[in-house]
Chains A and B, each alone.
Chain A
Amino acid sequence: MPEGDAARTRRFEAVALPHLAAAYNLARWICRQEADAADVVQEAVMRALQYFDSYRGGDARAWLLQIVRNAAHSWLERNRPASLTLVPDSELEQLPAADDPVATVAAQTAATQLRQAIGQLSLEQREVLILREFEHLSYRQIASILDTPIGTVMSRLSRARDQLSRMLRPTTEAAT
């Protein structure tokens, strides 16, 4: 007897919902807007439920993040095509808002600076950095999420961090 829809949805909830916060954070960094990210995550979760039969166990977070990442890209293609074109690294883009009211003022300054710097990275560099620094995924997992060779993950991450250290240089040097 095939598994009922309710049981399947429940099993899906147990697998996917614990990773909702990670999914939202990734979408938020890719889309840059809270409302856009929320739409992307909702769409991605429903898409994930549809694809749930193809989930064969394993890392549920990486599985969900891949769907979220693809949903975010197709969402941006449909709604914000300009944000997908690569901009020169030096060009300023809209900064993510600092919305962390509980942090202390000092920590907030450093965090805000870093957030802004990460927000200025190109989409390509931003997403690889988020998957590594926030989700602590291995290069192999990131490669499978981005559907690229591991070597590409390595070089994108390296360029992203080079760029980040150039942007933060004044404060880094002042601290040493």
Chain B
Amino acid sequence: MIAIALLLGQGFASPPVPVHGDIFPCADHRIPRTHEGQFVACNSAGQPILRIDPSTRAIMQATALEPITPPIDLIPPPMLGSAPAVTPHGVAWVVGSRDGRRSLWWRSSNGAAPIVLETGRTDPHHPVTDGGHIAWVSHERITIYDPVSATRKHIDAETGFNAAPAFDRGVVCWEVRGPADVDIACSDGVRVRRDDHQTQPVLVGEHLFFRERGVFWVWDRSS
């Protein structure tokens, strides 16, 4: 299966398909994206008012959306525009500094004082969670952090230049720059390599969603 997946777009058995026929490119480059377990996408007018169920891929709602990141009371405050990764064990977030460097902070849910998980030297950013672990991007690698054992695992990856990696059930997928465009690589060996840029990966179980030419595509990894 992995061997076939590596050839995705070049005769793959079940190629990716657009998530929904009524999704159009957005002026807002952050969209399409996930929000509260659903996909936010744009209508034909480019307005980000569609919500799509990732499993059924049906349009659930067509109304105005709430702000993207709910404010969380964190000290030091998160860097503007960064999304914290919230787990039952605690929360990880990015803190910016005046010199343009970013550092990654962790506040355990046991009430302990916040600590720095990684300093600004490696420019850590884009923390994400699969519900238990935390993953983030720093210089030429992705770090997966187990908050229970406080252990870390590293994956060599030059990413984090555009969107956060996807992280679900221990599998990480991330954007990677190829010779001509951006593709998506995953920690289980899968690589989405097609014409044009594939960006903003989102993993939901066996489904890998990504953005291509402004709209969301989905690939069923189990097929």
* A, B: real partners: no
B interface list, Cβ under 8 A from A: none
A interface list, Cβ under 8 A from B: none
